[in-house]
Structure 1
Amino acid sequence: MSLITKHEANTKGRDFFVGDIHGQYALLMEAMARVEFDKTRDRLFSVGDLIDRGSESFECLSLAFEPWFYGVRGNHEMLAYDALNEGAGQAWDLWQINGGSWVYLHGVHEVRTILNAALEHQPYAREVEVEGKHIGMVHAEPPHDWHLLQLEDHSAGLESLVWGRKRIRQMDTTLVANIDAVVVGHTILEQPETLGNVHYIDTGAFCTGRLTMIDAREVLS
């Protein structure tokens, strides 16, 4: 699978970005209803972490197969992948500590099957054309130059895409080169934050009840 998937402009409807869902399927449905999301015209881009810490994780993971839903891999998808494909051991314990207990509601085999299939629809990055500009999306931290994601040897930077927090810890406002804006999640904030051209939209839905969903045009305003 390519690191990045690119999307042409949506000429029929609107595009939205949503923060870490973490098994809060009902919250997502409420957020979509508030903006009168039209599944036949609109598109929803998810920054990853569909699963864990919420009992509706299976339903959220199933979103990966919807034609209007476009996610990227989060660290929780990768924790689950390691645990389910390596079996019992350190990877399993790490996943359980980080909210993987929902697996027991459905069974290991069923969850492994749907997770492995869902990951085929979740690249590490996406790029969306909006009103003639381009918005990138990764789960945690983009590279300093967006074009690096198109290099075959950028696999060394995958951990930062999924786990990185260096930029936000340093409150780094340096612009990511060769992209107009980037949307990320991963780090829970009181409210959405922008550093340079990077927009952080994880507001901790599983613990605060607040799931941030924004119109793509707001990212460029």
Structure 2
Amino acid sequence: MSLVKVWDKEIKGKLYAVGDIHGCYNLLMNRLNEIGFDFKSDLLVAVGDLVDRGLQNEECVGLIDQPWFTSVKGNHEDLCEWGLQERAAMQCHIENGGEWFYELDGFKQTNIVRKLSKLPVVLEVNHNGKKFGFVHGHVEQNDWDEFKESFEGGKTNFRDPADLAMWGRDRIDPDNLQYTHVSGVDAVIMGHTVTQKPCKRDNCYWIDTGAVHWGTMTILDLSKV
């Protein structure tokens, strides 16, 4: 799976984005029913961290198989992959809500990692004349095309672009003035950093409002952005 993906399927209905789900499958389904989500024509894009900390992690992994759902890869999906390869990563994962993963048998673990490994780090969706970008944590460049191109060249400034995108938080800091409007895209939707309500800076939105902590899951109707 390419680290950068451009959505190429028709979206007949609305486009929505959901913040970090973190194993809260029932909460997600209840919220979708509340907003009148049309499972036959709408598309829901998750900004990563489908798993860990919550109780319904396998159900959340199963969302990847649904035609009305897609996601980018978050740092917790990254931890699942690392955890099977490195003992230090496994311990880090367990300490951050990943204990459920190591209680599964090897077949289930492998199958889950197979699914998670296919998720892109960056997703671009064009819908109703607008271009939307999705990434879990951070966009380093102030130009969307330059950001995407950075994934073609490998590590820069000693940091892997995928690591920055999944783990970084610098752009959300209002005192960090090097980050401004991201040109070449109408809006960038991110999660990773928990905020009490959706946060906007320039044309970037952060929508992880602590579903697993406070039961407040944000689903953003992108026709209103």
Whether 1:92 and 2:90 are equivalent positions in the alignment is: yes
Give the counterpart letter for 2:127 in structure 1: V
Whether 1:215 and 2:221 are equivalent positions in the alignment is: yes
What residue ranges of structure 2 are gaps of 5+ in the alignment? none
Which has the higher mean CA deviation after the structures are superposed, 100-109 or 36-45? 100-109
| Contact 1:130–1:216 (Cα < 8 Å) also in 2 | no
Equivalent in the alignment of 1:135: 132
TM-score (norm 1): 0.91
C-alpha displacement of 1:37: 1.4
Alignment of 1:121-200 (within 5 A): 122-144=119-141, 145-148=143-146, 149-151=148-150, 152-154=152-154, 156-172=160-176, 174-200=180-206
| Contact 2:20–2:50 (Cα < 8 Å) also in 1 | yes
Q: Deviations over 1:70-124 (max 9, x none)?
A: 10000000011100233xx21111000000111255334312322222321x101
Equivalent in the alignment of 1:18: 18
Total equivalences in the alignment: 216
Q: For 2:154 and 2:191, locate their aligned partners in 1 and report how far apart those are by CA, in whole Å.
A: 21
SS at the partner of 2:164? helix
CA RMSD of the aligned region, Å? 1.8
Q: For 1:117 and 1:77, locate their aligned partners in 2 and report how far apart those are by CA, in whole Å.
A: 10
Whether 1:56 and 2:90 are equivalent positions in the alignment is: no
Equivalent in the alignment of 2:41: 41
Seen in structure 2, the aligned counterparts of structure 1 residues 110 and 167 have a Cα distance that, compared at 3 Å, is same
Q: For 2:46 and 2:96, locate their aligned partners in 1 and report how far apart those are by CA, in whole Å.
A: 20
| Contact 1:63–1:69 (Cα < 8 Å) also in 2 | yes
Q: For 2:191 and 2:34, locate their aligned partners in 1 and report how far apart those are by CA, in whole Å.
A: 21
TM-score (norm 2): 0.89
Q: For 2:164 and 2:11, locate their aligned partners in 1 and report how far apart those are by CA, in whole Å.
A: 33
C-alpha displacement of 1:65: 1.4
Equivalent in the alignment of 1:77: 77
Q: For 1:154 and 1:181, locate their aligned partners in 2 and report how far apart those are by CA, in whole Å.
A: 25
What residue ranges of structure 1 are gaps of 5+ in the alignment? none
